[in-house]
Amino acid sequence: MAQLHITILIISSCFLFFFFLNNILIFSSIFVITSLSFIPLSHPLDPLTETELKLVLKIIKETYPVGPSHWFTFQYVGLNEPDKSRVLSWHSAPDQNVIPPARQAFVIARDKGKTREIIVDFSSRVIISDKIRVGNGFPMLTIDEQQAATALILKFKPFRASIKRRGLDVLEVVVTSSTMGWFGEKHTERLIKAMPFYLNGSVNTYLRPIEGMRIIVNLDKMKVTTFKDRFMGPLPKANGTEYRFSKLKPPFGTSLQNAIIFQPDGPGFKIDGHIVRWVNWEFHMSFDVRAGLVISLASIFDMDMNKYRQVLYKGHLSEMFVPYMDPISDDWYSITYLDCGDFGCGQSAVSLEPYTDCPANAAFMDGVFASQDGTPTKVSNVMCIFEKYAGNIMWRHTEAEIPGLKITEVRPDVSLVVRMVTTVGNYDYIVDYEFKPSGSIKVGVGLTGVLEVKPVEYVHRSEIKEDDIYGTIVADNTVAVNHDHFVTFRLDLDVDGKENSFVRTKRVTKRTPKSFGTPRKSYWTTNRKIAKTEAEARVKLGLRAEELMVVNPNRRTKHGNEVGYRLLHGSVSGPLLTEDDYPQIRAAFTNYNVWITPYNKSEVWASGLYADRSKGDDTLAVWSLRNRKIENKDIVMWYTVGFHHVPCQEDFPTMPTLSSGFELRPVNFFEQNPVLKTKLIKITTTPKCTPSN
């Protein structure tokens, strides 16, 4: 195994180093990665480049007049996923001397009120497929059309009059867009609901909603179709919503001691185009406007076999379902977002701040996507990669039982993190893929940002007249509404090859038979079952959790165990809405925590390819009803990380990160502890120096 290239330099209160820490940019730039400037030949799974996006625009322009003025807009442009078997044969060929699969773009456009699906081939430079889509649901909203809708409302006379009537200044109003969901109505129009907020002394937009107006915009006509000023409610105060450090007033919290990870030999990972190699891992990282960060072709080097072994063909965020729980008010009942399908988790991904979003030893990668008019938009530093030294122990043992000999062996843990942050309106979601030398992939989901709140008359619980206010009073005139976050991942595991099976192992309690002659009355043992069809693989997690494993039935260890990877799930939560409720029908992919489907190139988005205003007829739950065979097949695992969020005062005015996640961990994949022979890290500490104060 390659040595972990990390040396830890611990800097305490040392004057010399304080100087450096104040000049952290200069200090750290010494070891910031420069390998990103290298432009490689494209890998079949690379995201579309700026050049390719321009080419897509050029080719489509030859057939259609494009742009908002022609009512022809680009709602999604991404890589048309190449045939998996071709990618795999290209990937496994020595020196990759097999012709890579053709690069193509998949485009979803709105063309005069219709949805058009276009495939563009880059080598022949032509449209190879072009069809009008029939069916429910609409494509992702673009940033540009949301901004156009906002501008429209700010100029809309009845709206301005309503703002004035409230004694507010229209120059201080920010308008955001909320998707409509679907509540049983027949609909054919792409509508959004506009939500106005008031700044005037605050930069925390979402905490000052102006309620009482129902404003609906038709995005395909760019017209306000409904405007009703129903009532004038209270407006939460600006005071207390500040979160910029420069504007906050004392008292301040105790400062945290500074520390830095210094890697004198540089980072231990290498980036070659979009391929990352680190210790025993190799994977490809990409960016998609809907999913955000995508990990592909993750494989781990097996020292005993002297080769890389496949683990994860592709893993990414598939959808986030965020339903709010105020069912009675017209402003609120419809707030049931499908964040990735509605707003794009990649489109909403933000530039990461060096040193704070990602540590000083991070390398960054940009993302690029097509804006509404087809021109490329770049988001710099949208993903980062860094080695994480969290102070954990990889493994250890102290042997104290041997007379006259005391042995202690410890290996500190280091992992490699790939991160993105997507800010979908008020919420910031941190998504981490953490690779461990032991073979684990830990996926972390962190929730932070700002709550979605509802203005009320109340400033104290004792004033509440209703039975239920559907949330918590977190500030004067401010109720933060109860809601969920269901974060669904698509995990196309290929454990040591494509053909895999899903195994559920129950732990069952047994009575000890009297005939055993021991005083033990009970024990537990395992009951292993291979899921043969999709129905047998739907899992609702409970207190008596099962062991859930994806195994390769065609590969066994020396001792006859099937090689596998286990899903170690995070906190257990499932939907609390009834299955006949409209949002839950659209998000029926959350009805189970785990699903397995046979691989199908077009089954990628758990909420369906068209999530906005969808009717739930193209979800994972519907695909799964086909009850296909999944034993010894190329299978895909879907896992949902769920949070039920009853807001509290600490979540105001911004929310400290709430974390959950899961782990994919090898089980009988290796013959023995794969990190047994990890070389020792060379420890460097600073010379002693005197405290500066």
Ligand X SMILES: *[C@@H]1O[C@H](CO)[C@@H](O)[C@H](O)[C@H]1NC(C)=O
Binding interface with ligand X (CB under 6 A) = 168-169, 200-201, 238-240, 600, 602-603, 623
Which pair of tokens denotes residue 219? 């995005």
Active site residue 169: no
How far apart are alpha carbons 146 and 268 in whole angstroms? 42
How far apart are alpha carbons 330 and 314 in whole angstroms? 40
Cβ contact 6:259 at 8 Å: no
Nearest to 362 by CA among 440, 441, 439, 278: 278
State the nearest-atom distance from the C-beta of 475 to ligand X, in Å.
Answer: 9
Residue ranges of the alpha helices (H) in 484-619? 582-586
Task: Draw the binding track, 298-317, toward Cu ion (x: CB under 5 A; -: no contact).
Answer: --------------------
State the nearest-atom distance from the C-beta of 430 to Cu ion, in Å.
Answer: 13
200 binding partner (options Cu ion, ligand X, none; Cβ < 5 to 8 Å by kind): ligand X
Place of tokens 């499908």: 338
603 binding partner (options Cu ion, ligand X, none; Cβ < 5 to 8 Å by kind): ligand X
Catalytic residue among 76, 427, 470, 582: 427
399 binding partner (options ligand X, Cu ion, none; Cβ < 5 to 8 Å by kind): none
Place of tokens 């980036």: 271
* H-helix or E-strand spanning residue 529: strand 522-531
Nearer to Cu ion, 178 or 310 (CB): 178
Is residue 449 involved in binding Cu ion (CB under 5 A)? no
645 binding partner (options Cu ion, ligand X, none; Cβ < 5 to 8 Å by kind): Cu ion
Nearer to Cu ion, 325 or 630 (CB): 325
State the nearest-atom distance from the C-beta of 603 to ligand X, in Å.
Answer: 5
Active site residue 339: yes
Cα Rg of the chain (Å, integer): 27
Q: What is the 3-state secondary structure (H, E, C) of 215-262?
A: EEEECCCCEEEEEEECCCCCCCCCCCCCCCHHHCCCCCCCCCCCCCCC
Q: Hey, what amino acid is at 176?
A: T
Nearer to ligand X, 392 or 600 (CB): 600
Longest alpha-carbon distance in the chain: 89
Catalytic residue among 46, 288, 339, 357: 339
Cβ contact 286:366 at 8 Å: no
State the nearest-atom distance from the C-beta of 8 to ligand X, in Å.
Answer: 40
Helices 157-165 and 143-155 pack at an angle, to 10 degrees, of 70
24 binding partner (options ligand X, Cu ion, none; Cβ < 5 to 8 Å by kind): none
Nearest to 587 by CA among 325, 323, 334, 331: 323
State the nearest-atom distance from the C-beta of 208 to Cu ion, in Å.
Answer: 18
Nearer to Cu ion, 316 or 645 (CB): 645
How far apart are alpha carbons 651 and 277 in whole angstroms? 38
Nearer to Cu ion, 658 or 689 (CB): 658
Burial class (CB in 10 A: 0-12, 13-18, 19+), 543: exposed
State the nearest-atom distance from the C-beta of 575 to Cu ion, in Å.
Answer: 15
Give the 3-state secondary structure of residue 90.
helix
State the nearest-atom distance from the C-beta of 524 to ligand X, in Å.
Answer: 39
Burial 552-571 (b: 16+ CB within 10 A, else e): bbebeeeeeebbbbbbbbbe
- Bridge partners, residue 598, by sequence: 635
State the nearest-atom distance from the C-beta of 228 to ligand X, in Å.
Answer: 23
602 binding partner (options Cu ion, ligand X, none; Cβ < 5 to 8 Å by kind): ligand X
264 binding partner (options Cu ion, ligand X, none; Cβ < 5 to 8 Å by kind): none
Contacts of 510 (CB under 8 A, 6+ apart): 522, 523, 524, 525
Nearer to ligand X, 80 or 348 (CB): 80
Nearer to Cu ion, 149 or 473 (CB): 473
Cβ contact 549:503 at 8 Å: yes
169 binding partner (options Cu ion, ligand X, none; Cβ < 5 to 8 Å by kind): ligand X
555 binding partner (options Cu ion, ligand X, none; Cβ < 5 to 8 Å by kind): none
- Going from the C-alpha of 216 to that of each of 175, 196, 211, 325, the distances in angstroms are 12, 12, 14, 21
Nearer to Cu ion, 195 or 551 (CB): 195
* Interface of this chain with Cu ion, residues 626 to 655, rule: CB under 5 A: 645
State the nearest-atom distance from the C-beta of 483 to Cu ion, in Å.
Answer: 6
How far apart are alpha carbons 526 and 636 in whole angstroms? 25
How far apart are alpha carbons 431 and 659 in whole angstroms? 10
Nearer to ligand X, 235 or 675 (CB): 235
Burial 32-69 (b: 16+ CB within 10 A, else e): bbeeeeeeeebbbbbbbeeebbebbbebbeeebebbee
User: Contact residues for Cu ion (CB under 5 A)?
Assistant: 645
Active site residue ranges: 339, 427
